[in-house]
Structure 1
Amino acid sequence: MNCNYIKNITTLGLALGVFTLTSCEPDDICLAEEAPFVTLKMYYPNSDTDLEDTIFYKAYVNDTLLIESGSNEKDLTVLNLPILTTENRTIKYILEQGSTYKTKFINGNDTVVTTHQAPQDIIYVNYQIDNKYNSKACGFGVFFKDATFTTSNNWIQNLEIVNTTIDDATSTNLNIFAEPRSY
């Protein structure tokens, strides 16, 4: 093969590569966005002091269909709850303050097993689905607007709505005020 031919192909390849890399604009590349979550931040009552507690959750639609369960074990002051992107709906979140556990008491030949149920509370989140334009590369994305929050107020003493638009996993939507676990 001719050396000039290889040299020309190499030069053309390098020129094409440089042109391709320098012609992209910031909105030409779509980075994977995090799915939106309902983000809860926990505080002690009547305070801005973070409440660090392990919260376990179960998320239901139509009150009975389990869509996800999990906990906030990585960050004990923030809880990210899943949300569905398929249709406007209400999601029921059952929050448990800690985990249910059992104790055994042995008295002679008798063993008494007691189950200690973790305190539970329910938060209902109702929302509307809408679309927003992200960028030329990403196109349109889903966000949730007009979110409303209600609770059964068992161990959660108060709710403070911070943001009724749910469009990422970093903005707090709801502050929860509660006492720490008593066990």
Structure 2
Amino acid sequence: MKKNYVLIFIFLFTFLSCEKDDICVETTTPNLIIKFYDNDDPTVIKQVTELTVWAETKDSIYINKSLDSIIIPLNLNENFTKYILENNTIKDTVKFTYNRNDIFVSRSCGYKTIFENLQIESNTTNWIKSISINNSTIDNEKATHIYIFH
């Protein structure tokens, strides 16, 4: 009889000490979405034929791709990110500035960063003719944040 009580106690102790799995299913820190448009007709999406993109002092994200839009991360440790966008060996540098707002999502996901007050502090105009901010708050990846006309 004591043997049964011990087994029941061990079973209950094991069962009660289990926790739910901590799997993050929520969205985390969103990336910046950029779409490319024709400078002559701003309503027409225009692909960049040989796009190479990298953050200053970092490795390339896209190498020799033909794309009409890109998704790139912003720096979580600074209030700015400087990207170099190269099209057919012609380089332009764009510096994005923003305010970071860390928000607690859940125990399993931790924190995510929302970027607010997105601005373009500086950019060169070698192949990029102009840049327009569509959404200055980056809190999701559902809509385009920046339009680049070339």
Please state if 1:49 is matched with 2:44. Answer: yes
Match of 1:157 in 2: 129
Root mean square deviation of aligned Cα: 3.0
Alignment of 1:5-16 (within 5 A): none
Distance 1:56 1:167 in 2: 25
Q: State the identity as a percent.
A: 28
> If the length of structure 1 is used for normalisation, what is the TM-score?
0.59
Q: Secondary structure at the match of 1:42?
A: strand
SS of equivalent residue, structure 2 residue 129: strand
Q: What amino acid does structure 2 have at the position aligned with 1:174? A: I
Counterparts of 1:129 and 1:161, CA distance in 2:
17
Structure number with bigger Rg: 1
Matched AA of 1:49: V
1:67-146 mapped onto 2 (5 Å cutoff): 67-71=58-62, 76-88=67-79, 90-98=80-88, 118-134=89-105, 138=109, 140-146=111-117
Unaligned runs of 5+ in 1: 1-15, 17-27, 61-65, 99-117, 179-183
Structure 1 residues 27-49: Cα deviation after superposition (integer angstroms, max 9, x where no partner): x9631635422211001013211
Report the number of matched residues: 133
One-letter amino acid of the structure 1 residue matched with residue 43 of structure 2: D
Deviations 1:93-151 (Å, cap 9, x if unpaired)? Answer: 111113xxxxxxxxxxxxxxxxxxx1111111111110234457645421111111132
Q: CA deviation at 1:72?
A: 7.0
Stretches of 4+ aligned residues off by more than 6 angstroms: 72-75
CA distance in 2, matches of 1:44, 1:34: 32
Q: In structure 1, how many angstroms separate the alpha carbons of the residues matched to 2:66 and 2:105?
A: 29
Which blocks of at least 5 consecutive residues in structure 2 are unaligned?
Answer: 1-14, 16-21
